[in-house]
Amino acid sequence: MSQSLFADAMTRLDKALQHVSISPEAIERLRYPKASLSVSIPVRLDSGELKVFQGYRVRYDDTRGPTKGGIRYHPNVSLDEVQSLAFWMTFKCAAIGIPFGGAKGGIAVNPKALSRMELERLSRGYIDAIADFIGPDTDIPAPDVYTNATIMGWMMDQYSIISRRFSPAVVTGKPTAIGGSLGRETATAMGAYFVIRSLMTKHQKLPQVTTVAIQGFGNAGAVLAQLLYEAGYKVVAVSDSKGAIYNPQGLDIPSVRAYQQAHKGIEAVYCEESVCNLGDRQLLTNSELLTLDVDVLVPAALENQITLANAHEVKAKFIFEVANGPVNSAADLILQQNGVCVVPDILVNSGGVTVSYFEWLQNRSGLYWSLEDINQRLQEKMEAETSQIIDLAEELSLSLRTAAYVHALKRLAAAIEAKGTQQYFAQS
């Protein structure tokens, strides 16, 4: 790309600012991350070799509360990416109305090339390096791309060792046996499902006649595919990093998930099998999946999947961003001109951080909720905020993305301005 991911992310802020009146000081604060940390993590490999990995953590804004955001393990992790994701998390927490600011972290690594013991040493080493930067009242990490409950458990345990006290609230997305919340692993998909159902109901699209393609068959994408399948939607295509499978009559999603689970081994950290190995389906590339003639397209993999290069080829009527930043700003303009309704990531995938908030509350209080209670609270929150953003979009004639940013900006600006601005202090 000619510009950085962060510069592209900032264009969404600039567009939203045209539709809301807030103080210049609030705008200035939101253009810069509060703190950024780059660390080196030396890891002794099983072979005896020492290898150093580069890690990052960014706290973008904590005006509304301690910062919150996932940790991803991926070869392409960079400070620019982590800063952009922290920016999006800031707006996501504000849009969904939970009292957190935004943060993000990551390590530049191919986790599938590491053994389980190497992965544990890397995870604990990362916490050793950033322990002074995080904390239950400061910054609370969570899972993201290629991290999971096991890894979060290692991180929580390492922080507890360093702080010399059991600290479950420092990390969310942990195993339930050590303070994790019921419903956390399915929260992103469940939240996305509630948003999709709300929008499809509003547009009078019945599940039985609504076709769906999902790019990304990881935790969020696979669970969402299952939820949509069970609700009667026709999921015609899914993909993972190796490619896609497509059946215009609809895929048997339970069979696809069962195949993937059966081939990864009961103790594996990552699945090593591809959905592409399933027979009797048409094989596609990930790029081809994005241009299928379907009603609903769900990018649930990585950022920058729909760009200036392929936006004209998108045929879906609705795009629900389960991944962070899968549609860049240049593509947004093309999709809007072509009548495609893009429902933004800061709303669609906010179920994960919402249930992370529930987990944090449970850790702090020592009182734990039932799965039914958690899902009910999540549904109420997702549907209420979706309704407000839809109403704002209609009231101001905005896209849903811009409406979501305006919705978040109002809350962020109110918190910043509550601490005093030039206008307040200049009064005699």
With a cut of 60, say whether residue 2 has pLDDT above it: no
104 DSSP β-pair partners: 58
Active site residues: 104
In CATH, what number does 187-348 get? 3.40.50.720
397-419: average pLDDT: 93
- The average pLDDT across 226-255 equals 91
Kindly report the average pLDDT of the chain as a whole number: 91
pLDDT in tens, 158-214: 999 999 999 999 999 999 999 999 999 899 999 999 999 999 999 999 999 999 999
Q: What is the pTM of this model?
A: 0.89
For the stretch 109-131, pLDDT in tens is 999 999 999 999 999 999 999 99
- Specify which of 283-287, 301-305, 310-314 reaches the highest per-range mean pLDDT: 310-314
Using DSSP's 3-state secondary structure scheme, residue 74 falls into strand
- Residue 264 clears pLDDT 70, i.e. is over it: no
What integer pLDDT is reported at residue 3 of this predicted model? 62
What's the start-to-end Cα distance of the chain, in Å? 50
Instruction: For strands 282-284 and 243-246, give the pairing.
Output: antiparallel
CATH number, domain 33-178, options 3.90.1150.10, 3.40.250.10, 3.40.50.300, 3.40.50.10860: 3.40.50.10860
Per the CB < 8 A criterion, the answer to whether 72 and 146 are in contact is: yes
Percent residues over pLDDT 90 in the chain:
77
Task: Check residue 70 and give its pLDDT.
Answer: 95
Q: How far is CA 388 from CA 100, 139, 208, 356, 414, in A?
A: 19, 28, 27, 22, 17
User: What are the phi and psi torsion angles at 412 (to 5°)?
Assistant: -65, -45
Same fold, 33-178 and 187-348: yes
Mean pLDDT of 414-418: 90
Please give the pLDDT value at position 279.
52
pLDDT in tens, 85-116: 999 999 999 999 999 999 999 999 999 999 99
Domain ranges of the chain: 1-32+407-428, 33-178, 187-348
Say which DSSP state 208 is in: G
Q: Please say if the pLDDT value at position 424 is more than 80.
A: no
Q: State the CB neighbour count (10 A cutoff) for residue 372.
A: 10
Using CA atoms, how far apart are residues 136 and 155, in angstroms rounded to an integer?
13
Least confident window among 2-16, 213-227, 312-326: 2-16
**pLDDT single digits (tens) 14-63:** 889 999 888 888 899 999 999 999 999 999 999 999 999 999 999 999 99
Looking at residue 282, its pLDDT comes to 82
pLDDT at 376 over 80: yes
- In angstroms, rounded to a whole number, what is the distance separating the alpha carbons of residues 394 and 362? 37
Identify the CA nearest to 92 among candidates 54, 142, 135: 142
